[in-house]
Structure 1
Amino acid sequence: MDANRVKQILSSSADIAVEYNGVSVWIDQLNEDGRTATVHLRGPLEERSTVEIAELREV
């Protein structure tokens, strides 16, 4: 995924399915470097991780 698509997803009111390593995640923010994003798993646990946006996949 690229930075522009991450920005579009963040600004959208739609529920857009995104996966990281096959796991469904929410994107919290695009980080200042433009190459990573902060995400958390969909579900009760809200543990946040920083991941490379190139590894995010829209499903």
Structure 2
Amino acid sequence: MDAKRVKQILSSSADIEVQYNGVSVWIDQLNEDGRTATVHLRGPLEERSTVEIHELQEI
């Protein structure tokens, strides 16, 4: 995924499924470097991680 698509997903009101390493995640923000994003798992856990956006996959 690229930074432009991450921004589109963040501004969308639709529920767009995104996966990181085969696990569904929510994108919280695109980080200032434009190469990483902060995400957290869908579900009850609120653990956040910083990941490379090229590793995110839209489903």
TM range (shorter): over 0.9
Q: 4+ runs of 1 displaced by more than 3 Å?
A: none
TM-score by length of 2: 1.00
Q: Per-residue deviation at 1:36?
A: 0.0
Deviations 1:3-49 (A, max 9, x none): 00000000000000000000000000000000000000000001000
TM-score by length of 1: 1.00
> What residue identity is the alignment partner of 2:39?
V
Q: Structure 1 CA distance, aligned partners of 2:42 and 2:28?
A: 11
Tell me the number of residue pairs that the alignment of Structure 1 and Structure 2 aligns.
59
> What residue identity is the alignment partner of 1:18?
V
**Structure 1 vs Structure 2 CA RMSD:** 0.1
Q: Per-residue deviation at 1:57?
A: 0.1
- Which runs of no fewer than 5 residues in structure 1 stay unpaired? none
% identical equivalent positions: 90
